[in-house]
Amino acid sequence: MASASSAEGAHWMSPHELKLVTILSIDGGGIRGIIPATILAFLEEKLQELDGSDARLADYFDVVAGTSTGGLLTAMLTAPDTNGRPLFDAKDLARFYINHSPRIFQQKNRIRLKITRKLKMVWGPKYDGKYLHALLRRYLGDTRLDRTLTNVVIPTFDIAYLQPTIFSSFELKHRPWKNALLSDISMSTSAAPTFFPPHYFETKDENGRRRAFNLVDGGLAANNPTLCAMNQVSKDIILGNEHFFPVKPTDYGKFMVISLGCGSNRNRRYCAKAAAKWGIFNWLIKNGTAPIIDMYNSASADMVDINLCVLFRALRSSQNYLRIQYDQLTGTAGSIDDCSKENMDKLVRIGKRLLDMNVSRVDLETGRIVEVPGVGTNAEQLTRFAKQFSDERRRRQNELIYAEVGFQNEAW
Protein backbone atom coordinates (compact mmCIF):
# COMPACT_ATOMS: atom_id res chain seq x y z
CA MET A 1 0.00 0.00 0.00
CA ALA A 2 1.65 3.19 -1.11
CA SER A 3 1.44 5.74 1.65
CA ALA A 4 1.50 8.56 -0.85
CA SER A 5 1.70 8.24 -4.61
CA SER A 6 4.88 9.68 -6.01
CA ALA A 7 6.48 9.98 -9.42
CA GLU A 8 9.56 8.45 -7.83
CA GLY A 9 7.84 5.13 -8.42
CA ALA A 10 6.58 2.25 -6.31
CA HIS A 11 7.85 2.05 -2.76
CA TRP A 12 7.06 0.30 0.49
CA MET A 13 6.84 1.38 4.07
CA SER A 14 9.43 0.38 6.63
CA PRO A 15 9.37 -3.27 7.87
CA HIS A 16 7.66 -2.76 11.24
CA GLU A 17 4.77 -0.91 9.59
CA LEU A 18 3.49 -3.71 7.36
CA LYS A 19 0.55 -5.68 8.69
CA LEU A 20 -1.44 -6.22 5.52
CA VAL A 21 -0.53 -6.86 1.88
CA THR A 22 -3.26 -5.32 -0.27
CA ILE A 23 -3.79 -6.60 -3.81
CA LEU A 24 -6.11 -5.50 -6.62
CA SER A 25 -6.42 -7.84 -9.60
CA ILE A 26 -8.31 -7.28 -12.86
CA ASP A 27 -9.07 -9.97 -15.45
CA GLY A 28 -8.87 -9.71 -19.22
CA GLY A 29 -11.99 -9.37 -21.34
CA GLY A 30 -11.72 -6.69 -24.03
CA ILE A 31 -14.56 -4.19 -24.11
CA ARG A 32 -16.00 -5.97 -21.08
CA GLY A 33 -13.36 -4.10 -19.05
CA ILE A 34 -16.17 -1.58 -18.60
CA ILE A 35 -17.59 -3.92 -15.93
CA PRO A 36 -14.58 -3.82 -13.52
CA ALA A 37 -14.06 -0.13 -14.40
CA THR A 38 -17.55 0.60 -13.06
CA ILE A 39 -16.82 -1.32 -9.87
CA LEU A 40 -13.49 0.45 -9.37
CA ALA A 41 -15.25 3.81 -9.60
CA PHE A 42 -17.48 2.75 -6.70
CA LEU A 43 -14.52 1.60 -4.60
CA GLU A 44 -12.57 4.82 -5.15
CA GLU A 45 -15.68 6.83 -4.27
CA LYS A 46 -15.91 4.99 -0.95
CA LEU A 47 -12.24 5.70 -0.23
CA GLN A 48 -12.80 9.38 -1.00
CA GLU A 49 -15.73 9.48 1.43
CA LEU A 50 -13.28 8.33 4.11
CA ASP A 51 -10.12 10.22 3.18
CA GLY A 52 -11.07 13.12 0.95
CA SER A 53 -11.48 13.81 -2.75
CA ASP A 54 -7.74 13.42 -3.48
CA ALA A 55 -7.77 9.72 -2.54
CA ARG A 56 -6.91 7.38 -5.42
CA LEU A 57 -6.80 3.59 -5.68
CA ALA A 58 -3.02 3.57 -6.15
CA ASP A 59 -2.68 5.04 -2.66
CA TYR A 60 -4.20 1.95 -1.05
CA PHE A 61 -2.92 -1.09 -2.92
CA ASP A 62 0.53 -2.58 -2.48
CA VAL A 63 0.07 -4.39 -5.79
CA VAL A 64 -2.20 -3.79 -8.78
CA ALA A 65 -2.28 -6.66 -11.30
CA GLY A 66 -4.03 -6.82 -14.64
CA THR A 67 -4.16 -8.93 -17.77
CA SER A 68 -5.17 -7.74 -21.24
CA THR A 69 -7.87 -5.10 -20.75
CA GLY A 70 -7.11 -5.44 -17.02
CA GLY A 71 -3.50 -4.55 -17.85
CA LEU A 72 -4.68 -1.36 -19.54
CA LEU A 73 -6.69 -0.47 -16.44
CA THR A 74 -3.67 -1.23 -14.26
CA ALA A 75 -1.49 1.13 -16.27
CA MET A 76 -4.08 3.90 -16.19
CA LEU A 77 -4.52 3.61 -12.43
CA THR A 78 -0.81 3.52 -11.56
CA ALA A 79 0.97 5.66 -14.17
CA PRO A 80 1.86 9.12 -12.83
CA ASP A 81 0.71 12.39 -14.36
CA THR A 82 2.88 15.51 -14.38
CA ASN A 83 1.98 16.13 -10.73
CA GLY A 84 2.98 12.68 -9.57
CA ARG A 85 -0.61 11.55 -9.10
CA PRO A 86 -2.45 8.75 -10.93
CA LEU A 87 -3.05 9.45 -14.61
CA PHE A 88 -6.73 8.50 -14.38
CA ASP A 89 -9.38 8.77 -11.69
CA ALA A 90 -11.35 5.55 -11.42
CA LYS A 91 -14.56 7.37 -12.35
CA ASP A 92 -13.03 8.18 -15.75
CA LEU A 93 -12.11 4.61 -16.70
CA ALA A 94 -15.47 3.52 -18.13
CA ARG A 95 -15.73 6.80 -20.03
CA PHE A 96 -12.31 6.11 -21.57
CA TYR A 97 -13.63 2.83 -22.98
CA ILE A 98 -16.84 4.41 -24.21
CA ASN A 99 -14.99 7.27 -25.94
CA HIS A 100 -12.21 5.27 -27.59
CA SER A 101 -13.43 1.71 -28.15
CA PRO A 102 -15.36 2.49 -31.36
CA ARG A 103 -12.03 3.45 -32.97
CA ILE A 104 -10.03 0.66 -31.30
CA PHE A 105 -12.54 -1.93 -32.54
CA GLN A 106 -13.39 -0.17 -35.79
CA GLN A 107 -16.86 -1.59 -36.37
CA LYS A 108 -19.12 -0.95 -39.31
CA ASN A 109 -22.78 -1.66 -39.68
CA ARG A 110 -22.75 -2.81 -43.27
CA ILE A 111 -23.14 -6.56 -43.58
CA ARG A 112 -20.58 -6.84 -46.37
CA LEU A 113 -17.87 -5.25 -44.25
CA LYS A 114 -18.76 -7.52 -41.32
CA ILE A 115 -18.35 -10.57 -43.50
CA THR A 116 -15.08 -9.24 -44.92
CA ARG A 117 -13.69 -8.69 -41.43
CA LYS A 118 -14.62 -12.20 -40.33
CA LEU A 119 -12.96 -13.68 -43.38
CA LYS A 120 -9.89 -11.55 -42.74
CA MET A 121 -9.44 -13.26 -39.37
CA VAL A 122 -8.59 -16.44 -41.26
CA TRP A 123 -5.38 -14.91 -42.63
CA GLY A 124 -4.71 -11.97 -40.32
CA PRO A 125 -5.80 -10.16 -37.14
CA LYS A 126 -9.27 -8.64 -37.07
CA TYR A 127 -7.90 -5.20 -36.09
CA ASP A 128 -4.57 -3.55 -36.87
CA GLY A 129 -4.20 -2.03 -33.38
CA LYS A 130 -2.84 1.27 -34.74
CA TYR A 131 -5.32 3.49 -32.94
CA LEU A 132 -4.86 1.63 -29.63
CA HIS A 133 -1.08 1.86 -29.93
CA ALA A 134 -1.17 5.59 -30.71
CA LEU A 135 -3.55 6.14 -27.79
CA LEU A 136 -1.28 4.34 -25.33
CA ARG A 137 1.81 6.19 -26.58
CA ARG A 138 -0.02 9.49 -26.13
CA TYR A 139 -1.25 8.84 -22.59
CA LEU A 140 1.64 6.80 -21.16
CA GLY A 141 4.45 8.54 -23.02
CA ASP A 142 7.94 7.68 -21.73
CA THR A 143 6.74 6.21 -18.43
CA ARG A 144 8.51 2.95 -17.64
CA LEU A 145 7.62 0.14 -15.28
CA ASP A 146 9.80 1.48 -12.47
CA ARG A 147 7.82 4.75 -12.38
CA THR A 148 4.43 3.34 -11.43
CA LEU A 149 2.92 4.76 -8.27
CA THR A 150 2.64 1.36 -6.65
CA ASN A 151 3.84 -2.12 -7.58
CA VAL A 152 2.25 -3.65 -10.65
CA VAL A 153 2.13 -7.14 -12.15
CA ILE A 154 1.13 -7.50 -15.83
CA PRO A 155 1.32 -10.91 -17.57
CA THR A 156 2.13 -11.36 -21.25
CA PHE A 157 3.17 -14.36 -23.34
CA ASP A 158 6.34 -14.48 -25.46
CA ILE A 159 5.73 -16.49 -28.63
CA ALA A 160 9.46 -16.64 -29.41
CA TYR A 161 10.15 -18.60 -26.22
CA LEU A 162 6.63 -20.06 -25.74
CA GLN A 163 6.83 -18.84 -22.16
CA PRO A 164 4.92 -16.36 -20.02
CA THR A 165 6.69 -13.05 -19.51
CA ILE A 166 5.54 -11.27 -16.37
CA PHE A 167 6.26 -7.57 -16.12
CA SER A 168 6.53 -7.03 -12.40
CA SER A 169 7.87 -4.19 -10.28
CA PHE A 170 9.31 -6.84 -7.97
CA GLU A 171 11.60 -8.27 -10.66
CA LEU A 172 13.31 -5.07 -11.77
CA LYS A 173 16.09 -5.35 -9.21
CA HIS A 174 17.15 -8.72 -10.60
CA ARG A 175 15.97 -8.30 -14.22
CA PRO A 176 16.52 -4.66 -15.18
CA TRP A 177 15.94 -5.49 -18.86
CA LYS A 178 12.23 -5.83 -17.99
CA ASN A 179 12.01 -2.12 -17.27
CA ALA A 180 9.97 -1.54 -20.42
CA LEU A 181 7.73 1.34 -21.39
CA LEU A 182 4.27 0.96 -19.88
CA SER A 183 2.86 1.60 -23.34
CA ASP A 184 4.77 -1.40 -24.78
CA ILE A 185 3.66 -3.59 -21.88
CA SER A 186 0.05 -2.51 -22.33
CA MET A 187 0.10 -3.15 -26.08
CA SER A 188 1.56 -6.60 -25.44
CA THR A 189 -0.80 -7.80 -22.72
CA SER A 190 -3.82 -6.77 -24.83
CA ALA A 191 -2.63 -8.31 -28.13
CA ALA A 192 -5.29 -11.02 -28.22
CA PRO A 193 -4.51 -13.59 -30.95
CA THR A 194 -6.81 -13.23 -33.97
CA PHE A 195 -7.93 -9.77 -32.76
CA PHE A 196 -4.67 -7.76 -32.60
CA PRO A 197 -1.18 -8.40 -33.99
CA PRO A 198 1.61 -9.54 -31.63
CA HIS A 199 3.74 -6.70 -30.32
CA TYR A 200 7.51 -6.52 -30.77
CA PHE A 201 9.86 -4.22 -28.88
CA GLU A 202 13.33 -4.16 -27.35
CA THR A 203 14.81 -2.96 -24.08
CA LYS A 204 18.36 -2.28 -22.90
CA ASP A 205 19.94 -3.05 -19.54
CA GLU A 206 22.41 -0.78 -17.76
CA ASN A 207 25.24 -2.21 -19.87
CA GLY A 208 23.47 -1.51 -23.15
CA ARG A 209 22.63 -5.14 -23.84
CA ARG A 210 19.44 -5.52 -25.85
CA ARG A 211 16.56 -7.85 -25.04
CA ALA A 212 13.89 -8.55 -27.66
CA PHE A 213 10.25 -9.32 -26.84
CA ASN A 214 7.70 -10.98 -29.13
CA LEU A 215 4.52 -10.76 -27.08
CA VAL A 216 0.83 -11.55 -27.20
CA ASP A 217 -2.12 -11.35 -24.81
CA GLY A 218 -1.36 -12.14 -21.19
CA GLY A 219 -4.55 -14.19 -21.09
CA LEU A 220 -2.57 -17.08 -22.55
CA ALA A 221 -0.63 -17.14 -19.29
CA ALA A 222 -3.03 -15.82 -16.65
CA ASN A 223 -6.33 -14.24 -17.68
CA ASN A 224 -7.02 -13.90 -13.95
CA PRO A 225 -3.69 -12.57 -12.59
CA THR A 226 -4.57 -12.73 -8.88
CA LEU A 227 -2.48 -15.78 -8.06
CA CYS A 228 0.33 -14.45 -10.22
CA ALA A 229 0.39 -11.26 -8.14
CA MET A 230 0.39 -13.19 -4.86
CA ASN A 231 3.20 -15.41 -6.12
CA GLN A 232 5.27 -12.35 -7.02
CA VAL A 233 4.93 -11.08 -3.45
CA SER A 234 5.79 -14.49 -2.00
CA LYS A 235 8.83 -14.83 -4.25
CA ASP A 236 10.03 -11.40 -3.22
CA ILE A 237 9.77 -12.42 0.44
CA ILE A 238 11.74 -15.61 -0.25
CA LEU A 239 14.43 -13.54 -1.95
CA GLY A 240 14.84 -11.60 1.25
CA ASN A 241 12.95 -8.34 0.72
CA GLU A 242 13.00 -6.95 4.25
CA HIS A 243 10.10 -4.62 3.54
CA PHE A 244 7.71 -7.54 3.91
CA PHE A 245 8.94 -8.54 7.38
CA PRO A 246 7.30 -10.04 9.41
CA VAL A 247 5.02 -11.39 6.63
CA LYS A 248 6.10 -14.89 5.60
CA PRO A 249 5.99 -16.29 2.02
CA THR A 250 2.76 -18.20 2.65
CA ASP A 251 1.26 -15.91 5.28
CA TYR A 252 -1.84 -15.35 3.17
CA GLY A 253 -3.87 -14.45 6.25
CA LYS A 254 -2.28 -11.01 5.93
CA PHE A 255 -3.24 -10.66 2.28
CA MET A 256 -6.35 -8.63 1.43
CA VAL A 257 -7.34 -9.33 -2.15
CA ILE A 258 -9.97 -7.86 -4.47
CA SER A 259 -10.23 -9.76 -7.75
CA LEU A 260 -12.48 -8.38 -10.50
CA GLY A 261 -13.70 -10.35 -13.49
CA CYS A 262 -14.98 -9.05 -16.83
CA GLY A 263 -17.98 -11.36 -16.94
CA SER A 264 -18.68 -14.72 -18.56
CA ASN A 265 -21.63 -16.77 -19.72
CA ARG A 266 -22.00 -20.04 -17.82
CA ASN A 267 -25.20 -20.76 -19.73
CA ARG A 268 -23.42 -21.02 -23.07
CA ARG A 269 -22.91 -24.64 -23.91
CA TYR A 270 -21.06 -26.39 -26.71
CA CYS A 271 -21.86 -29.93 -27.76
CA ALA A 272 -18.96 -32.28 -28.47
CA LYS A 273 -20.82 -33.87 -31.39
CA ALA A 274 -21.39 -30.49 -33.01
CA ALA A 275 -17.90 -29.19 -32.21
CA ALA A 276 -16.39 -32.32 -33.77
CA LYS A 277 -17.47 -30.89 -37.12
CA TRP A 278 -15.95 -27.45 -36.54
CA GLY A 279 -13.06 -26.19 -38.57
CA ILE A 280 -10.73 -23.29 -37.79
CA PHE A 281 -13.37 -20.74 -38.69
CA ASN A 282 -15.99 -22.07 -36.23
CA TRP A 283 -13.49 -22.24 -33.37
CA LEU A 284 -12.66 -18.59 -34.01
CA ILE A 285 -16.17 -17.30 -34.75
CA LYS A 286 -19.43 -18.86 -33.64
CA ASN A 287 -22.66 -16.91 -33.13
CA GLY A 288 -20.78 -13.65 -32.64
CA THR A 289 -18.27 -15.07 -30.15
CA ALA A 290 -14.81 -16.64 -30.32
CA PRO A 291 -15.26 -20.07 -28.65
CA ILE A 292 -11.56 -20.94 -28.37
CA ILE A 293 -10.72 -17.60 -26.73
CA ASP A 294 -13.75 -17.74 -24.43
CA MET A 295 -12.77 -21.24 -23.35
CA TYR A 296 -9.15 -20.59 -22.44
CA ASN A 297 -9.99 -17.28 -20.77
CA SER A 298 -12.75 -18.83 -18.65
CA ALA A 299 -10.67 -21.90 -17.80
CA SER A 300 -7.68 -19.79 -16.74
CA ALA A 301 -9.74 -17.39 -14.63
CA ASP A 302 -11.85 -20.09 -12.98
CA MET A 303 -8.89 -22.26 -11.99
CA VAL A 304 -7.31 -19.32 -10.17
CA ASP A 305 -10.56 -18.43 -8.41
CA ILE A 306 -11.21 -22.01 -7.33
CA ASN A 307 -7.66 -22.40 -6.00
CA LEU A 308 -7.84 -19.15 -4.05
CA CYS A 309 -11.25 -19.98 -2.61
CA VAL A 310 -9.81 -23.22 -1.28
CA LEU A 311 -6.66 -21.50 0.00
CA PHE A 312 -8.40 -18.70 1.89
CA ARG A 313 -11.01 -21.06 3.30
CA ALA A 314 -8.30 -23.44 4.51
CA LEU A 315 -6.57 -20.53 6.25
CA ARG A 316 -9.90 -19.36 7.72
CA SER A 317 -9.40 -16.03 5.96
CA SER A 318 -12.28 -16.08 3.48
CA GLN A 319 -13.16 -12.53 4.53
CA ASN A 320 -9.83 -11.36 3.07
CA TYR A 321 -10.64 -12.48 -0.47
CA LEU A 322 -13.35 -10.82 -2.55
CA ARG A 323 -13.98 -12.07 -6.08
CA ILE A 324 -16.57 -10.13 -8.09
CA GLN A 325 -17.64 -11.83 -11.31
CA TYR A 326 -20.82 -11.92 -13.37
CA ASP A 327 -21.55 -15.23 -15.04
CA GLN A 328 -24.81 -14.52 -16.86
CA LEU A 329 -23.63 -12.51 -19.86
CA THR A 330 -25.85 -13.01 -22.88
CA GLY A 331 -25.91 -11.78 -26.46
CA THR A 332 -23.61 -8.90 -27.35
CA ALA A 333 -22.55 -8.45 -23.71
CA GLY A 334 -20.48 -11.63 -24.05
CA SER A 335 -18.46 -10.20 -26.94
CA ILE A 336 -14.98 -8.80 -26.32
CA ASP A 337 -15.22 -6.26 -29.14
CA ASP A 338 -18.85 -5.17 -29.56
CA CYS A 339 -18.55 -1.47 -28.85
CA SER A 340 -21.96 -0.32 -29.99
CA LYS A 341 -23.42 2.32 -27.69
CA GLU A 342 -26.18 -0.07 -26.71
CA ASN A 343 -23.73 -2.76 -25.66
CA MET A 344 -21.40 -0.44 -23.76
CA ASP A 345 -24.35 1.05 -21.87
CA LYS A 346 -25.43 -2.51 -21.09
CA LEU A 347 -21.98 -3.32 -19.65
CA VAL A 348 -22.14 -0.24 -17.41
CA ARG A 349 -25.52 -1.41 -16.13
CA ILE A 350 -24.12 -4.90 -15.48
CA GLY A 351 -21.28 -3.39 -13.44
CA LYS A 352 -23.75 -1.40 -11.34
CA ARG A 353 -26.02 -4.43 -10.99
CA LEU A 354 -23.08 -6.46 -9.71
CA LEU A 355 -22.66 -4.03 -6.84
CA ASP A 356 -26.19 -4.80 -5.66
CA MET A 357 -25.78 -8.57 -6.01
CA ASN A 358 -24.80 -10.75 -3.08
CA VAL A 359 -21.20 -11.89 -2.69
CA SER A 360 -20.66 -15.17 -4.54
CA ARG A 361 -18.14 -17.98 -4.61
CA VAL A 362 -17.32 -20.72 -7.06
CA ASP A 363 -19.01 -23.99 -6.14
CA LEU A 364 -16.16 -26.49 -5.97
CA GLU A 365 -18.37 -29.31 -7.24
CA THR A 366 -20.12 -27.67 -10.18
CA GLY A 367 -17.94 -24.69 -11.00
CA ARG A 368 -21.04 -22.51 -10.77
CA ILE A 369 -20.99 -19.18 -8.98
CA VAL A 370 -23.29 -19.34 -5.96
CA GLU A 371 -24.24 -16.79 -3.32
CA VAL A 372 -22.52 -16.84 0.06
CA PRO A 373 -25.20 -16.73 2.79
CA GLY A 374 -25.04 -13.93 5.33
CA VAL A 375 -22.17 -11.98 3.77
CA GLY A 376 -24.15 -9.22 2.08
CA THR A 377 -23.76 -7.50 -1.25
CA ASN A 378 -20.62 -6.77 -3.22
CA ALA A 379 -21.14 -3.06 -2.50
CA GLU A 380 -21.25 -3.75 1.24
CA GLN A 381 -18.08 -5.82 1.08
CA LEU A 382 -16.26 -3.21 -0.99
CA THR A 383 -17.28 -0.61 1.60
CA ARG A 384 -15.85 -2.85 4.33
CA PHE A 385 -12.61 -3.30 2.39
CA ALA A 386 -12.40 0.46 1.84
CA LYS A 387 -12.61 1.06 5.59
CA GLN A 388 -9.84 -1.45 6.28
CA PHE A 389 -7.66 0.01 3.53
CA SER A 390 -8.19 3.49 4.93
CA ASP A 391 -7.37 2.38 8.48
CA GLU A 392 -4.21 0.61 7.29
CA ARG A 393 -3.05 3.62 5.31
CA ARG A 394 -3.57 5.92 8.28
CA ARG A 395 -1.75 3.51 10.56
CA ARG A 396 1.24 3.43 8.22
CA GLN A 397 1.28 7.22 7.92
CA ASN A 398 1.24 7.55 11.71
CA GLU A 399 4.01 4.98 12.07
CA LEU A 400 6.06 6.90 9.55
CA ILE A 401 5.56 10.15 11.46
CA TYR A 402 6.57 8.48 14.74
CA ALA A 403 9.62 6.95 13.07
CA GLU A 404 10.69 10.34 11.67
CA VAL A 405 10.23 12.03 15.06
CA GLY A 406 12.22 9.26 16.73
CA PHE A 407 15.01 9.65 14.19
CA GLN A 408 15.15 13.41 14.76
CA ASN A 409 15.29 12.90 18.55
CA GLU A 410 18.17 10.47 18.16
CA ALA A 411 19.96 12.98 15.96
CA TRP A 412 19.65 15.59 18.70
Q: Quick check: is 327 catalytic?
A: no
Q: How far is CA 323 from CA 19, 23, 78, 163, 369, in A?
A: 22, 12, 21, 27, 10
Whole-model pTM over 0.85:
yes
Say which of 5, 68, 190, 298 is annotated catalytic.
Answer: 68
pLDDT in tens, 284-333: 777 666 777 777 777 778 888 888 888 888 888 889 999 999 988 888 88
| Highest mean pLDDT (candidates 64-78, 239-253, 385-399) | 64-78
CA 326 to chain centre: 16
Contacts of 183 (CB under 8 A, 6+ apart): 133, 136, 137, 139, 140, 141, 143
The answer, yes or no, to whether residue 115 has pLDDT greater than 70, is no
| 254: helix, strand or coil | helix
pLDDT in tens, 344-378: 999 999 999 999 999 998 776 776 778 988 899 99
Cα–Cα nearest to 195, from 347, 100, 343, 335: 335
pLDDT confidence bin for 149, thresholds 50/70/90: very high
Determine contact, residues 145/182, Cβ cutoff 8 Å: yes
Q: What is the rounded average pLDDT for all residues in the chain?
A: 86
| 105: helix, strand or coil | coil
- CA 301/CA 323 separation, integer angstroms: 11
Contacts of 280 (CB under 8 A, 6+ apart): 122
Say which of 62, 89, 217, 302 is annotated catalytic.
Answer: 217
Backbone Cα Rg of the chain: 21
pLDDT in tens, 43-77: 999 999 999 999 999 999 999 999 999 999 999 99
- CA 134/CA 41 separation, integer angstroms: 25
Determine contact, residues 3/400, Cβ cutoff 8 Å: yes
- CA 266/CA 330 separation, integer angstroms: 9
Mean pLDDT of 391-410: 74
pLDDT in tens, 190-242: 999 889 999 999 998 888 889 999 999 999 889 999 999 999 988 877 766 65
Q: Quick check: is 302 catalytic?
A: no
Q: Does domain 21-404 have CATH number 3.40.1090.10?
A: yes
Cα–Cα nearest to 302, from 381, 220, 371, 369: 369
Determine contact, residues 369/351, Cβ cutoff 8 Å: no
pLDDT confidence bin for 12, thresholds 50/70/90: very low
